[in-house]
Structure 1
Amino acid sequence: MTKKPPATRPMRKRLSWQDPGVRSAVYQGVLLALVAWLAWFLASNTLANLSARNITTGFGFLRQEAGFAIGESPISYTSADTYGRAILVGLLNTVRVSLVCIVAATVFGTLLGIARLSRNWLVARLAGLYVEVMRNIPLLLQLFFWYAVITENMPGPRQALHWLPGVFMSNRGLKLPGLQGGGLDWMAAGLALALVLALLLAHWARRRPAAAGRRLPVGVVACALLIVLPLAGWLLSGASVALDMPHLRGFNFQGGITVSPEFAALGMGLIVYTSAFVAEVVRSGIQSVGKGQWEAAEALGLSRSRSLRLVVLPQALRVIVPPMTSQFLNVTKNSSLAVAIGYPDIVSVVNTTLNQTGQALEGIMIIMGAYLAVSLAIAAFMNWYNRRVALAER
């Protein structure tokens, strides 16, 4: 019977300055202490200066009555509401214009990027000229240009441009037909349900092997859902939805949907400026795909447009998405220039708030926190999408 060897105790690791791990921990600890000391010094010095000047601090002013009006608001707001609600209105205005410009700049910029690679000499040169001109003119100047075009060169409401029924363009903005009635909530619920079902259907179709070499027509089914479900909501509501057409009354239009000159100028400036950068991102992404992919697609009998849509662009997305994320973040941050043309974004609303309350430090912190939250949300979504389109390693 053999004896088991005695259990050996694990050797204790001795701390030594020669150990890279020890040096790294010490350096990081010293750096963290310096950063904490600097933050404490700045905070204490700021509070001491504010106290010496009898300036109150804190965010209690958010519950006070604002007392000023806001030109346009996606939610109900009056001057009797609080500063907190006014800042919420400014944040929603910033998010609204950012989302609209991100979608429009992505579509327009993608078309421009494809046009730059066109075999047609004139189309490629015109797209290149647009990109070089627009991205080298400062955005603020472009905003001033579009605002002047809309407010100074457009006719008044009585001589408004009238191209389509219910659509009027004047120096008061763009008037469009709208919907009103109690059935709008039902239609919105049907549209939301249709979007969810379309996404689930697309996810299921990608995982389901094609039967007999045929793919499920996801696009056709999704379009049918987007039409049928809101229509079903309209019928369930008792068809209590009416078309609200704008009409001239007095010196301005009444009814319908109004796109203000400030929103239109800001949107045009951001879309025109950002689409030039998006075009370069798309062009470089397409050119990163090997020429052999084009040749293989053409050998299969695919046209150039189908080769681009089905073969090249899906592969180019892995290169396009990361720099496109930066452009989306730039749209959000560049929207802060709206204060120059009077659009009530969060910067404009907070500026009015701090002028009335004197809470400058808190106002700047609110602006920084709002842009940080929106930017992190966009970055998180784009990172998720980037992981979806990335190549899976084996």
Structure 2
Amino acid sequence: MASLLNNPTVRGIAFQIVFVLVLGWLVWDIIDNTARNLQKANIAAGYGFLDRTAGFGIIQRMIDYTEASSYGRALLVGLLNTLVVAGLGIVFATILGFIVGVARLSSNWLISRTATAFVEILRNIPLLLQLFFWYFVVLRNLPGMRERMTLIHGIDLNIGGLHVPRLVPGEGLWLVAAAIPAAIAATAFVTNWGHERQDRTGDRPPIGTINLALIIGLPVVAFFIAGRPLGVDFPVFNETGPLLRRGFQAGTGLTIIPEFIGLLLALSLYTATYIAEVVRSGIQAVSKGQTEAAHSLGLRAGPTLRLVVLPQAMRIIIPPLTNQYLNLTKNSSLAVAIAYPDLVAVGGTVLNQTGQAVEIVSIWMLFYLGLSVLTSAVMGYFNKRAALIER
């Protein structure tokens, strides 16, 4: 017996078994107490409430939804709203972050100082305050519902939101939709062919130009072959007539609500400052000898950054960039502060009406956990592609 206890392997296994048993008991005790408390409060456990009628409206929805829809469909609407604002926020924050990060390293004094001011100011103001600034200070002080501020022809702004043209799909649009994955597959083929040719001959074909032509050209060709199956519905503004009828005519154009605009601006600008610092540090981590070698071969500053420095910097940039994407997605839950109907806001309404706190919180946790795991997996794939392959 003493010999078994003195064996580090046996002792390690015993400790792990005891830890799992204690953890399992704690989890079971929490579940049992929760079930008993729900029973005392006459609250039925389970997700059966998702089939009941919601009875409340949602101002923004990607799918059909009415007050007669179920709680489950209401949560789905909130989930899609979260995905839209998080996805667009990631795109805008990445583009702006890379631009500002590179600008901070510019030899132009004005550009570099402007980028530095952008980063230092927005990064040190809490995200919630920025959200309040864009929504309550900027967007809530725009022209009223019977007025408009024209940005460009067909795009107007007022307190009701951003009014833009709406695309109206027609017959044959499936051909354009099918051309998009075909173009993506063609770009993958061209990229592999270009790299093989460069490895074999040393000559680098214009891969970027060819891929851009494929991504844009194939859908455009399909669009005209299908007989241009896409119309445009412009917002109609009534300037004359009775006062109550003035303003944008309902059912014309597309209205982007101010809650969405404010949340997207705050998330994109705030996250872009951190991405800019990630990009700047990644570029500075690449040896200056790489830049000097590229210049000695006759490459100018732009091609050197694009072809030599950034590909090496991406190995350093991608891991912390993943963290910023995760932070942006989770920070989108602040939408409840300005009544944007994301998953948390809609779930809060459902919770108040049904009292199903455990179920709603579990839905929130599972959604954000799943989205974070998916984001990490996708970025992990790109990280592997960018990693240095040792021979």
TM-score > 0.5 by shorter chain: yes
Alpha-carbon offset, residue 257 of structure 1: 2.5
Which residue type is aligned with residue 59 of structure 1? Y
Partner of 1:384: 381
Partner of 2:352: 355
Structural mapping, 1:166-205, within 5 Å: 166-182=154-170, 183-205=172-194
* The one of 270, 273, 288 aligned to 2:270: 273
Which residue type is aligned with residue 216 of structure 2? I
Partner of 2:52: 64
Counterpart-to-counterpart distance in 2, 1:327 and 1:128: 19
Alpha-carbon offset, residue 211 of structure 1: 6.6
Contact 1:65 1:81 in 2 (8 A): yes
- CA offsets 1:88-111 (integer angstroms, 9 cap, x no match): 111111011101010110110111
* The one of 84, 87, 96 aligned to 1:99: 87
Alpha-carbon offset, residue 212 of structure 1: 5.3
Alpha-carbon offset, residue 287 of structure 1: 0.9
* 2:126 is equivalent to residue 138 of structure 1: yes
Counterpart-to-counterpart distance in 2, 1:229 and 1:127: 37
Partner of 1:291: 288
* The one of 225, 228, 231 aligned to 2:220: 231
Counterpart-to-counterpart distance in 2, 1:23 and 1:313: 50
Alpha-carbon offset, residue 74 of structure 1: 1.1
Counterpart-to-counterpart distance in 1, 2:290 and 2:200: 26
Partner of 2:108: 120
For structure 1, which segment, 102-111 or 147-156, has the greater mean C-alpha deviation from structure 2 after superposition?
147-156
Which residue type is aligned with residue 102 of structure 2? I
**TM-score, length of structure 2 as denominator length:** 0.92
* 2:356 is equivalent to residue 367 of structure 1: no
Contact 2:195 2:204 in 1 (8 A): no
Contact 1:210 1:216 in 2 (8 A): no
Counterpart-to-counterpart distance in 1, 2:189 and 2:314: 22
**TM-score, length of structure 1 as denominator length:** 0.92
From the superposition, tell whether residues 185 and 256 of structure 1 become closer, same or farther in structure 2 (CA, over 3 Å): farther
Contact 2:168 2:231 in 1 (8 A): yes
Count of aligned positions: 381
Counterpart-to-counterpart distance in 2, 1:232 and 1:220: 17
* 2:16 is equivalent to residue 28 of structure 1: yes
From the superposition, tell whether residues 52 and 107 of structure 1 become closer, same or farther in structure 2 (CA, over 3 Å): same
Q: What SS class does the counterpart of residue 162 from structure 1 fall into?
A: strand
Alpha-carbon offset, residue 238 of structure 1: 3.4
Alpha-carbon offset, residue 245 of structure 1: 1.4
Which residue type is aligned with residue 100 of structure 1? L
* 2:41 is equivalent to residue 53 of structure 1: yes
Counterpart-to-counterpart distance in 2, 1:370 and 1:137: 28
Partner of 1:41: 29
From the superposition, tell whether residues 259 and 312 of structure 1 become closer, same or farther in structure 2 (CA, over 3 Å): same
Alpha-carbon offset, residue 304 of structure 1: 1.6
Alpha-carbon offset, residue 264 of structure 1: 0.4
Cα RMSD after superposing both structures = 1.9
Counterpart-to-counterpart distance in 2, 1:73 and 1:218: 39
Q: Which has the larger radius of gyration?
A: 1
* The one of 382, 390, 393 aligned to 2:390: 393
Q: What SS class does the counterpart of residue 65 from structure 1 fall into?
A: coil
* 2:341 is equivalent to residue 330 of structure 1: no
* 2:19 is equivalent to residue 19 of structure 1: no
Contact 2:343 2:364 in 1 (8 A): yes
| Structure 1, unpaired ranges of 5+ | 1-13
* 2:236 is equivalent to residue 247 of structure 1: yes
Contact 2:135 2:259 in 1 (8 A): yes
Partner of 1:341: 338
Partner of 1:148: 136
Which residue type is aligned with residue 273 of structure 1? Y
Counterpart-to-counterpart distance in 2, 1:15 and 1:392: 47
- CA offsets 1:122-159 (integer angstroms, 9 cap, x no match): 22222112211111111011001000244332112443
From the superposition, tell whether residues 44 and 392 of structure 1 become closer, same or farther in structure 2 (CA, over 3 Å): same
| Structure 2, unpaired ranges of 5+ | 239-245
* 2:76 is equivalent to residue 79 of structure 1: no
Which residue type is aligned with residue 360 of structure 1? A
Counterpart-to-counterpart distance in 1, 2:358 and 2:203: 62
* 2:298 is equivalent to residue 308 of structure 1: no
